Amino acid sequence: MVNVRSTPGIHELAQMMESSKNNDVKWGNPVGQIILPFYIAMYDDPLEYVRKAKKVVDRKKHSLEAIFTHGIGKRATELFGTKVSGAIFHRIISNTTVPFSNMIGPVEPVEFYGHRVV
């Protein structure tokens, strides 16, 4: 999930209170989704994985994918309600190959095609 606010950062409360007059400052963070590819490769430098992932994430964050998914989700909620919108979001999340989470992982080491995962 990516923040798609046009002006990132913290705004003053006075500006946010008068957001009905000024469209630049709004309450909350509109979020869009991006689907990231999962590459499996052997590199000599372990940090090359991080560099490649950062490059892909930065490119995807500035693409129209996040803005379109935010707009489609907003329109689906307006047209069909929160139940249908939630079902669509659940289906997208359920059909992704590798979801990432901040939960504690397994105690034993896990490998995937010779690459240590945990």
* Whole-number Å distance between alpha carbons of 109 and 118: 5
* Whole-number Å distance between alpha carbons of 74 and 67: 11
pTM: 0.55
Summarize pLDDT for 68-116 with one digit per residue, the tens. 888 888 898 899 999 988 888 888 778 766 666 555 667 788 888 888 8
pLDDT of residue 6: 64
Phi first, then psi: what are they for 48, rounded to 5°? -65, -35
Does position 26 have pLDDT exceeding 70, yes or no? no
List the alpha helices (DSSP H) in 11-113: 13-17, 47-61, 65-80, 82-94
32 or 15: which leads in pLDDT: 32
